Structure 1
Amino acid sequence: MLKRNYDSDSIRQVAALYQQQQQLQEQVDGFCQERDQVNKSIRQAKTKEERTQYISQGKQWKDKIKHVTNQIEQIQLEMETHALMVPNDTHPDVPVGDESHAKVIKMVGKQRIHEGELKDHLTLAEDLDMVDFEQASLVTGSKWYYLKNDAVWLELALIQYAMEQAYIRGFSPVIPPDVIRTSVAYGCGFQPRKSEASQIYSVTTPSTVNTSAPKLCLAGTAEIPLAGMFAQQLIKEEDLPRKLVGVGHAFRAEAGHGSANERGLYRVHQFSKVELFAVTSPEQSQDMLDELQSLQEHMFSELGLCFRVLDMPTEELGASAYRKYDIEAWMPGKNDWGEISSTSNCTDYQTRRLDIRYLSKEFKDNVGGKDVRVPWHIKEKWVKFCHTLNGTAMAVPRVIIALLETHQQPDGSILVPQVLRKWIPGQPSVLNKK
């Protein structure tokens, strides 16, 4: 936790609460023994008065058991709250420290520099009438935007292209809900640290709806509802890996952000995103991490971007990631790198919280036939937790930034990558001001 710059108080709290819970459980066990003895005495009572006396004692023990059991339940809830703040383990090869310690694994393509005055994406987009931040600010607020004209076709083209590339490689397409239970988001590791403001938008249900309904929020990434598709499921090992590609909207409060270097589309409250998600056995997860990264590199190469792959250090992993690779594109307009994608191996961090498990092949080898009915207490020793992985196939606004700035032409037009043209009406080779 210290390497990740997490407050280690949560672990101490969990340990202290667990010890307290165990002590109370011992009390309950003792009370239950006393109650059982009283119940035995009730059955053996020889007179009505003696029976009434024992019944009164039994009621007292029942009340004590209920009181202490309620304490145990409250401690359990408090313990779970602190446990949610404990991050995943960290791969031993992950660099230690903050973002400055990220390790560059590779660089693909050539940076556009020293070519006269290269415009940034906001200037290019406004010149081509692609965005409107001013009116969106009036309608919703700052960091919201309208995409217009060719920017709309560009977004749809990027989504179609990413979905197709993932589908070709065996990822099943999904459109998940954008509204999810907050408990599922927390189960995926998206609870805020104590020192941070929440990035999650809560959803308030109408007053006519039952007030006991579960708390809801807007998904910060399709990773969360995609993980939720497997919650409380037992999967056969022979059916792993399970690979999904989901398209949806991501909602981020982005509290505390707003530097000049992040203007325009770089950091916004809502954006379209294509997400890769996989459920694997522990033995499959490293190969799946490589597969996700390979797909990302293939797409960004075909889009003609210059990018680099980074092995992210401990303080940049987030709660769920055991290891995370970021991809940063060179953005000529701001003469700097900008993150456009990431991929993470979350091992069993999310699956333990969401109860996603698999039945080992060893079960069939040891028990026999495919449809043999086996008591759960026997089957359980062959049940293990899955691993989950996620990767950004297309974070649309940031890829639009990289495309506009990378493929800008001297006349202000934008060269359209060949792989996107079939998704845009007229299949244009360049985007011009209408």
Structure 2
Amino acid sequence: MFAMNIFVRTFFYCGKVGGRIKSVPKVELDIDYLCNVENKNEIDNNITTRKGIGDIHSVQELYAQFQAAKYECDKTVMWEKFEEAALKIPNRSYNLSNSAKVIKLIGTKKRFEFEPKEFSKIAENLCLLRTNNLGNFAGHKSYYLMGDLAVLEVALVRYSIKRLLQKGFHLLSVPDILPAHIIKSCGMAVDGDRNQVYRLDELHGSDLCLSGTAEMALAGYVMNRQFHASELPLRLAAVSRCFRAETSRLSEERGIYRVHQFTKVEMFAVTDKVSSDSLLEEFREIQEEIFAGLGLHLQTLDMPPHELGAPAYRKYDLEAWLPGRNMFGEVSSGSNCTDYQSRRLAIKYWPRGASVPEHAHTVNGTACAIPRMLIALVETHQERDGTVVIPELLRPFMLGRERLVREERIPHMKLMKPKHFS
């Protein structure tokens, strides 16, 4: 495991293996599907329904021009234009409905004999959270977890990892700095004014970004790999910091519900093309088991196309009931990306008896996103006196604590005005 982690970090941070630049895989688009005129309306409707930015008419016209070009230089230019346009086409969609469908309810809403408070109010009263006056850091989307709330963060990570290891996942330690092409190949935009990705200054390296989720590093780890059918499914897990350059003015996403960086335990798998649907169901069941074990009331949603990112063929969202906000809030999601990522990252497998390898399917899912899990747990298990009962399954990781109580030992942060130098 140690040697494997060293390999991962060496590859991503340095961009080299054994002193040589790691080759960027050539994209292998599904030409037969994308360029078949009989599929034009289907693909166009999918783009419209998903609110995508691709243009299948342009894609097919450019491919026809590429085929008609007589000279090699012209073909090269037309192919580059075609590929650029084709890469904007989203994955196909499993669910064609216009709204999310609740497919499962877990547990019941907890009844309180008092008016339940919101997470931020509870945590601040216990001196375990700091979100105000952090302009010198990363603005209003920054936060400090303190005392036992910081211990609870670690406990959630350890609890989730323990469950995943019991399910046969292999744990990797992954980097948070990735090449832009890895992130783009996984389906996130890195260019333009409106995207969620932080890019490093060119002084720090060639086109490097902060990772938005460990899914990207895990996908990059299996880039350019060919697996035997007997090796699949390959289940991987990682704990990482996630960086999102996103913001929100929605009142229901206040506090630490949507922040610029957070800790997350991620699941990722590579499988054959006939098993990804069942593997997504397995991921969903793992998520439901993890959260239900913590006493939360949950609903599982089958999401409509307009709620899917470009890579996802099908996506489930798990929402927890947040008593302090009197609403359900998303705490997890899982997606089947079929061959969208594998075609961009050259992830293949050899079916039994096959003469050529085929593109694998990839599946991902959140095992535990810390900030929203903290909101759900604290609001669900709050007591009248302002303390919070820690679920029994987390207590072995909580240094003997059974409750979150007021923290008196941590000094208050001293506020300082930034000095400006001419």
Q: Partners of 2:241 and 2:402 in 1: how far apart?
A: 28
Amino acid at match of 1:218: L
Q: Secondary structure at the match of 1:185?
A: helix
The correspondence of residues 300-319 of structure 1 with structure 2, limited to 5 A, is 300-319=291-310
State yes or no: 1:348 paired with 2:339: yes
**270, 278, 285: which one pairs with 1:279?**
270
**20, 27, 36: which one pairs with 2:71?**
27
**15, 40, 61: which one pairs with 2:60?**
15
What per-residue deviation string (whole Å, max 9, x for no partner) do you get for residues 259-305 of structure 1? 22111110000000000011001122122111111111111111110
Amino acid at match of 1:413: T
The correspondence of residues 13-412 of structure 1 with structure 2, limited to 5 A, is 13-24=58-69, 26-28=70-72, 69=73, 71-91=74-94, 94-97=95-98, 101-112=99-110, 115-191=113-189, 197-206=194-203, 213=206, 215-255=207-247, 257-363=248-354, 379-380=355-356, 383-412=357-386
Q: Secondary structure at the match of 1:139?
A: coil
Gaps of 5+ in 1: 29-68, 364-378
Aligned to 2:394: 420
What per-residue deviation string (whole Å, max 9, x for no partner) do you get for residues 377-428 of structure 1? xx43xx1111100010000100000000000000000000111111112x11
Displacement after TM superposition at 1:108 (Å):
0.8
Displacement after TM superposition at 1:8 (Å):
4.5
Q: Partners of 2:318 and 2:191 in 1: how far apart?
A: 25
Aligned to 1:4: 50
How has the CA–CA distance of structure 1 residues 130 and 84 changed in structure 2, closer, same or farther, with 3 Å as cutoff? farther
Kindly tell me the number of residue pairs found equivalent between the two proteins.
361
Displacement after TM superposition at 1:111 (Å):
1.1
Aligned to 1:433: 406
Q: Partners of 2:71 and 2:109 in 1: how far apart?
A: 68
Q: Partners of 1:272 and 1:390 in 2: how far apart?
A: 16
Q: Partners of 1:19 and 1:245 in 2: how far apart?
A: 43
Gaps of 5+ in 2: 1-46, 408-422
Q: Partners of 1:192 and 1:84 in 2: how far apart?
A: 14
Q: TM-score, normalised by structure 2?
A: 0.82
Q: Partners of 2:367 and 2:347 in 1: how far apart?
A: 24
Alignment check: 8 A CA contact 1:137 1:145 kept: no
Runs of 4+ residues over 6 Å off in structure 1: none
Q: Secondary structure at the match of 1:136?
A: coil
Amino acid at match of 1:410: R
What per-residue deviation string (whole Å, max 9, x for no partner) do you get for residues 328-353 of structure 1? 00000000000000111111111111
Q: Secondary structure at the match of 1:2?
A: helix
Alignment check: 8 A CA contact 1:266 1:397 kept: yes
Q: TM-score, normalised by structure 1?
A: 0.80
Q: Secondary structure at the match of 1:362?
A: coil
Amino acid at match of 1:402: A
Structure whose alpha-carbon radius of gyration is higher: 1
Identity of aligned residues (%): 40
Alignment check: 8 A CA contact 2:241 2:261 kept: yes
Displacement after TM superposition at 1:181 (Å):
1.2
What per-residue deviation string (whole Å, max 9, x for no partner) do you get for residues 28-80 of structure 1? 4xxxxxxxxxxxxxxxxxxxxxxxxxxxxxxxxxxxxxxxx2x4434333333
Alignment check: 8 A CA contact 2:149 2:404 kept: no
Kindly indicate which of the two structures has a greater share of residues assigned to helix: 1
Q: Secondary structure at the match of 2:203?
A: coil
How has the CA–CA distance of structure 1 residues 77 and 145 changed in structure 2, closer, same or farther, with 3 Å as cutoff? farther
Q: Secondary structure at the match of 1:343?
A: strand
Alignment check: 8 A CA contact 2:54 2:85 kept: no
Alignment check: 8 A CA contact 1:95 1:103 kept: no
Q: Partners of 2:138 and 2:242 in 1: how far apart?
A: 16
Q: Partners of 2:276 and 2:293 in 1: how far apart?
A: 26
Q: Partners of 1:251 and 1:415 in 2: how far apart?
A: 30
How has the CA–CA distance of structure 1 residues 297 and 19 changed in structure 2, closer, same or farther, with 3 Å as cutoff? same
Q: Partners of 1:113 and 1:76 in 2: how far apart?
A: 62
Alignment check: 8 A CA contact 1:84 1:187 kept: no
Amino acid at match of 2:323: P
Compare 131-140 and 397-406 and name the one that shifted more: 131-140
